[in-house]
């Protein structure tokens, strides 16, 4: 998959990967359809950072979820 292209399909892929990696209990609340392709670069930055780490503290997860919340809509 070429994540350099800002498509809704890539947004959906990244959101699902983020939910899996962060083991989000409320993952169903974060639907890929809530993210606009206009914010693709910001979402990709978060996706890349999440994929670069093996583990996250609770405060890191909370901060990441907060940032993702800012990108929704």
- pLDDT over threshold 90, residue 12: yes
Contact (CB, 8 A) for 50 and 44: no
Residue 36 within any structural domain of the chain = yes
Residue 59: the pLDDT is 93
- pLDDT over threshold 80, residue 34: yes
pTM: 0.80
Residue 1 within any structural domain of the chain = no
In whole angstroms, give the CA distance from residue 73 to residue 56: 26
Residue 29 within any structural domain of the chain = yes
Averaged pLDDT score across all residues of the chain = 88
First to last CA, the chain: 25
Domain that holds residue 55: 6-69
Residue 14 within any structural domain of the chain = yes
- pLDDT over threshold 70, residue 28: no
Residue 23 within any structural domain of the chain = yes
Q: Helix and strand tally (H, E) in the chain?
A: 3, 0
């Amino acid at each position: 998959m070429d994540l350099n292209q800002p498509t809704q399909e890539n947004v959906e892929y990244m959101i699902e990967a983020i939910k899996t990696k962060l083991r989000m209990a409320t993952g169903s609340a974060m639907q890929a359809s809530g993210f606009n392709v206009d914010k693709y670069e910001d979402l990709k930055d978060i996706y890349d950072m999440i994929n670069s780490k093996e583990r996250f503290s609770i405060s890191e997860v909370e901060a990441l979820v907060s940032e993702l919340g800012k990108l929704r809509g």
